[in-house]
Structures are given as C-alpha cells and as structure tokens.
Amino acid sequence: MAGQRNVGIAVDFSPCSQAAVHWASENLVRGGDRVVLVHAVSCYHIEQGVINLWERSGSPLIPLNELCTPNVCKQYAVEPDSETLKMLEQMASQKRVEVVAKVYYGDAKAKLLEAIERVPLDCLVVGSRGLSKLKRALLGSVSSHVVTNALCPVTVVKK
C-alpha cells in the first residue's frame, strides 16, 4: 500500500483500548502512517464552550503532544490515562508516525462510523470488553456494530 494511511484506533482509555493500541503498534502501524485516535465522549455538558463548536463534526485533529496537556484535556472533555499516552508516545517515536486524536460527542457506535467516513480512515482497531451473548444483546456491542456497518476493515482486539 503506497502513501500515508490513516490508521484509526478507537480509545476510551480503558484496559481494552490499551490492548487495541498495543496490538495496532505491534501488528499494523508502519512508518509514514498517521494514527488517528477516535474517542467518543457520551456524557458531557452542552454548556461547555468548545464542545458546542465541535458537537456535530467532532474536534479538530489534536496532536499527541497537545493531548497530553491538562488544558486541552479539559477543553475537549477527555481524560487520557498515562499508560496509554506512554504507549502512544513510544509508537510515535519508534515507528516514526504522526499520532493525532479526534474527539466526538455522542454515541460511540455512531461516532466511530462517522470517523471512518469523515477523517477518512483506511482501517480501524477497536478493543472488545468480551461481553457474554446476553450482555451483548442487552447492552449492545460497539465493536459488533462497527464491524457490521463499517466501510473499512475493522480489527477487534480482545484484552
């Protein structure tokens, strides 16, 4: 595949999304790629100023070095964990890739599909919580929904 790829990784900064970041770094990401972290904030206060600007289209692409700053995290209602940030910084330096984040506001299922089309993403890696069939039926599985409806290849990583 020639040229830069936009490799998406769905992150909610849980152990499952950490596994997705690790898997993507080890098995998918290569030099010259742009890694796009896609994060959906489902609970937010509509009064938050910047969020009002980006509620429909999502945030602009946020460089990794800015995502690590408290002001930017507060501005976009994102709470990244230090372990995930460390893995991403290692990926960026070792693989020589650009890492950016795109924050959406709303339902993760819909927003991940939106990111695939709008960024656009060449592929997407998502973590799986490993729900039982009953819980998956009752709660709904983000990864199952995205695999079924995505317009690009999707890899589901179990923790």
**pLDDT (tens digit per residue) in 25-62:** 999 999 999 999 999 998 765 545 556 667 788 999 99
| Widest pairwise Cα distance in the chain | 44
CA distance 55 to 103: 9
pTM above the 0.85 mark? yes
